[in-house]
């Protein structure tokens, strides 16, 4: 006889969350403590086990509403526990946790009955959303699924494949492409004819989506459309904050037939469900429609409940929230790192570029004025230019001024790029990017006025005997937050390195130099073209002068993380530029855990994921990287 699962106490959470009795099976004590503390704060009753025998004893003593299982724990034995659970009378959902590089382990866990999975390091927000989704569908608060076994319905869905599809869509394709990919997933998995996903803008009380069906001869314009958040069944699902399953839309007064009139589609059944952010707030609505395929079933509701957190995650990546509006994230277009032939040339027989602020004596500019700015001291110099500490005499504040090369303002390619990216950076106005105050031109040279920070991550490495892995994580997280903001606006940095992460007086990391100046000219390993970047941190595709996208920045950020954590860049043992470029293309980076044994193992995994040779094998977006970095920081807080 099959008994009913232990029902979570729906009244245990004042915020309306379903809570339950959970078992965490995890060998790492810090991870166990971190997860237990976080889930306990959400109202769950949490027990932990460090090994499989203890876990089995706990399960035999009293049933659990859900189990989180470390699938890497004694490999075969962990999978054996799944098989044993599947044979028990009580249906207990299991979420397996496994390393990103052990995809086969995840597949095997699903073959043995896992309900869902999460990759390590475990993100507290993601695991909370996955647990909430499963507990909600298992609790069946409306009593509509009593004859169904929810886990049987979930096993029909290939969650890893769905995640891969959504990850690919969020990999620089822009907000519109991400929303359309979510629509595709919903339509295919729920056997629907039409699907839409909407982002809620609370400031304007609007639902935002993209035009999924339009005529080819329609005039080009913004794909974003705005709807009243109170209108239609989507608005009702948002307002009521619950799933709506409507067998015949025209029998429901809340249905808005305007879409049908515009497209000729005759809606019959509708399934709408709200999407929630990390803190539980409603951020949007998903909706699927049918005409010929009939009504949506209770099984459809179960699957939709499981897809909701994934749709919400993709929805958050698809939009960027500016101070005044919510807008679609921009599409990132791959750019060539090769400089135009007529832009810069290196003198014969030398590695020094022509473009420097004053090849003879940049120090001669000390105490000079650039408009209202008086130059005080040289903060740094290199092939990109010279950075001065200066005083804004009008506003009476310290600033940093970066002066580009001699005649840079007279070279149209440089001037256009400089002004475009300066404007874009100024519009970012992000806490983790350096603030841009002004731009100008001095005797044919372009200059940039920006906030002055105390030091760079590069100078911190040079002046420290070693940086703790927690401090490394904080710096990389800050840089990644700035990079994420830039990527959402379609920008590629192209020159991430320790010296381009500035640290303010409070230690906050700020990303600087978003391609505002040309980096060192170095010879491509396959020819004599000039490429842009800093060799020690350049991705393989950048070294080969191939088009680069945002994943090249992720590679460079991984190389920067390596440098901060170990004290040296990944291929620092090579003595020439060509040797470094070749190594980036063909050599596997040293294991940072071997170079720095005190480095946490998951930190080394994050670095390796960033620095995969193939872009498709790296983190596909900065949001995914941020989740892992924050998970490591959360764990460090517990230590």
417-432 confidence digits (pLDDT tens): 778 768 877 878 899 9
In a domain, 215, yes or no: yes
Let me know whether 36 and 124 are in one domain.
yes
Which CATH number do you get for residue 606?
1.10.510.10
Q: Are strands 269-276 and 116-120 parallel, antiparallel or unpaired?
A: unpaired
Beta strand extents in 26-65 (DSSP E only): 45-49
pLDDT of residue 5: 36
Residue that wins the pLDDT comparison between 377 and 327: 377
In a domain, 366, yes or no: yes
Yes or no: say if 599 and 439 are a contact pair by the CB < 8 Å rule. Answer: no
Query: Where does the pLDDT of residue 103 fall: very low under 50, low under 70, confident under 90, or very high at 90 and above?
Result: confident
β-pair partners for 450 = 400, 436
Let me know whether 430 and 465 are in one domain.
no
Let me know whether 503 and 618 are in one domain.
yes
> What is the rounded average pLDDT of the residues 3-10?
38
Q: Which two tokens stand for residue 219?
A: 């005039």
Let me know whether 67 and 185 are in one domain.
no
In a domain, 354, yes or no: no
pLDDT of residue 78: 79
Let me know whether 382 and 520 are in one domain.
no
Average pLDDT, the chain: 82
The domain tally of the chain equals 4
Let me know whether 175 and 292 are in one domain.
yes
Let me know whether 122 and 180 are in one domain.
no
Which CATH number do you get for residue 126?
3.40.50.2300
Which CATH number do you get for residue 208?
3.30.450.40
pLDDT tens digits, 141-158: 555 555 567 778 777 888
Of the three residues 431, 451, 471, the one that is the final residue of a domain is: 451
pLDDT of residue 261: 83
Of the three residues 451, 474, 489, the one that is the final residue of a domain is: 451
pLDDT of residue 308: 93
Q: Could you tell me where the DSSP H helices lie in 209-325?
A: 232-240, 258-263, 298-318
- Rounded to whole angstroms, how far apart are CA atoms 206 and 227? 5
Q: Which two tokens stand for residue 437?
A: 């105050």
Q: Which of 445, 429, 437 is nearest to 391 (CA)?
A: 437
Let me know whether 187 and 240 are in one domain.
yes
In a domain, 192, yes or no: yes
Residue 376 has pLDDT above 50, yes or no: yes
Let me know whether 446 and 522 are in one domain.
no
In a domain, 510, yes or no: yes
In a domain, 208, yes or no: yes
Residue 219 has pLDDT above 60, yes or no: no
Query: Where does the pLDDT of residue 408 fall: very low under 50, low under 70, confident under 90, or very high at 90 and above?
Result: low
Q: Work out the burial of residue 53: count CB atoms within 10 Å of its CB; fewer than 13 is exposed, 13-18 middle, 19 or more buried.
A: exposed
Q: Which of 606, 563, 570 is nearest to 587 (CA)?
A: 570
Residue that wins the pLDDT comparison between 118 and 381: 118
pTM comes to 0.80
Let me know whether 218 and 197 are in one domain.
yes
β-pair partners for 209 = 225
In a domain, 464, yes or no: yes
Query: Where does the pLDDT of residue 335 fall: very low under 50, low under 70, confident under 90, or very high at 90 and above?
Result: low
Range of the domain at 273: 160-328
Residue 471 has pLDDT above 90, yes or no: yes
> What is the rounded average pLDDT of the residues 174-189?
91
> What is the rounded average pLDDT of the residues 217-243?
81
Let me know whether 553 and 633 are in one domain.
yes
Region for 367 from its dihedrals, namely left if φ exceeds 0, alpha if ψ lies in -120 to 50, beta otherwise: left
Of the three residues 451, 467, 482, the one that is the final residue of a domain is: 451
Which CATH number do you get for residue 429?
3.30.200.20
Let me know whether 34 and 126 are in one domain.
yes
Which region among 101-105, 193-197, 538-542, 548-552 has the lowest average model confidence (pLDDT)?
101-105
In a domain, 337, yes or no: no
pLDDT of residue 537: 94
Tell me which residue has tokens 């496994």.
Answer: 98
pLDDT of residue 74: 66
């Amino acid at each position: 006889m099959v008994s009913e699962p232990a029902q979570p106490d729906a009244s245990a959470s004042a915020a309306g969350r379903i809570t339950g009795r959970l078992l965490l099976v995890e060998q790492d004590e810090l991870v166990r403590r971190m997860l237990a503390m976080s889930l306990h704060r959400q109202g769950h009753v949490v027990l932990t086990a460090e090994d499989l025998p203890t876990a089995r004893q706990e399960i035999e003593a009293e049933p659990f509403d859900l189990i989180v299982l470390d699938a890497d724990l004694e490999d075969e034995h962990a999978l054996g526990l799944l098989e044993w659970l599947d044979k028990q009378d009580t249906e207990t959902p299991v979420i397996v946790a496994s390393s990103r590089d052990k995809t086969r382990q995840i597949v095997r866990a699903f073959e043995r009955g896992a309900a869902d999975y999460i990759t390590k390091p475990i993100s507290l927000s993601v695991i909370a959303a996955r647990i909430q989704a499963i507990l909600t569908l298992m609790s069946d608060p409306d009593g509509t699924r009593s004859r169904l076994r929810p886990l049987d319905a979930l096993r029909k869905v290939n969650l890893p494949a769905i995640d891969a599809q959504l990850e690919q869509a969020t990999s620089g394709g822009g907000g519109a492409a991400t929303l359309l990919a979510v629509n595709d997933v919903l339509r295919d998995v729920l056997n629907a004819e039409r699907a839409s996903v909407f982002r809620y803008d609370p400031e304007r009380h609007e639902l935002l989506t993209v035009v999924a069906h339009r005529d080819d001869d329609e005039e080009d314009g913004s794909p974003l459309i705005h709807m009243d958040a109170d209108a239609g069944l989507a608005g009702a699902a948002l307002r009521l904050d619950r799933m709506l399953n409507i067998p015949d839309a025209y029998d429901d007064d809340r249905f808005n037939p305007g879409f049908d009139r515009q497209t000729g589609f005759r809606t019959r059944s509708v399934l709408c469900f709200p999407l929630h952010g990390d803190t539980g707030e409603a951020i949007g609505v998903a909706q699927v429609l049918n005409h010929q395929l009939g009504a949506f079933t209770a099984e459809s509701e179960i699957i939709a409940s499981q897809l909701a957190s994934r749709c919400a995650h993709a929805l958050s990546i698809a939009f960027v929230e500016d101070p005044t509006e919510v807008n679609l994230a921009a599409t990132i277009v791959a750019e060539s790192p090769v400089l135009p032939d007529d832009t810069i040339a290196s003198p014969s027989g030398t590695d020094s570029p022509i473009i420097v602020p004053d090849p003879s004596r940049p120090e001669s500019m000390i105490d000079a004025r650039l408009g209202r700015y008086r130059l005080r001291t040289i903060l740094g110099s290199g092939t990109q230019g010279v950075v001065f500490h200066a005083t804004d005499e009008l506003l009476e504040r310290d600033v940093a001024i970066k002066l580009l090369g001699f005649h840079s303002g007279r070279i149209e390619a440089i001037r256009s790029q400089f002004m475009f990216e300066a404007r874009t950076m100024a519009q970012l106005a992000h806490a983790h990017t350096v603030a841009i105050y002004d731009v100008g031109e001095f005797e044919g040279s372009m200059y940039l006025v920006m906030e002055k920070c105390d030091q760079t991550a590069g100078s911190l490495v040079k002046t420290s005997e070693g940086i703790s892995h927690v401090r490394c994580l904080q710096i990389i997280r800050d840089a990644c937050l700035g990079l994420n903001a830039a990527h959402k606006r379609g920008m590629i940095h192209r020159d991430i390195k320790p010296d381009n992460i500035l640290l303010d007086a409070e230690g906050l990391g700020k990303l600087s130099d978003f391609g505002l100046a040309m980096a060192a000219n170095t010879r491509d390993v396959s020819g004599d073209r000039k490429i842009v970047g800093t060799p020690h941190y350049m991705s393989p595709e950048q070294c080969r002068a191939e088009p680069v996208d945002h994943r090249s920045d992720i590679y460079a950020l991984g190389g920067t993380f390596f440098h901060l954590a170990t004290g040296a860049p990944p291929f620092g043992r090579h003595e020439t530029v060509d040797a470094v470029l070749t190594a980036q293309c063909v050599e596997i980076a040293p294991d940072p855990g071997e170079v720095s044994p005190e480095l946490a193992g998951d930190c080394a995994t994050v670095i390796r994921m960033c620095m995969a040779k193939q872009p498709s094998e790296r983190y596909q977006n900065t949001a995914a990287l941020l989740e892992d970095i924050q998970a490591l920081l959360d764990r460090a807080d517990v230590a």
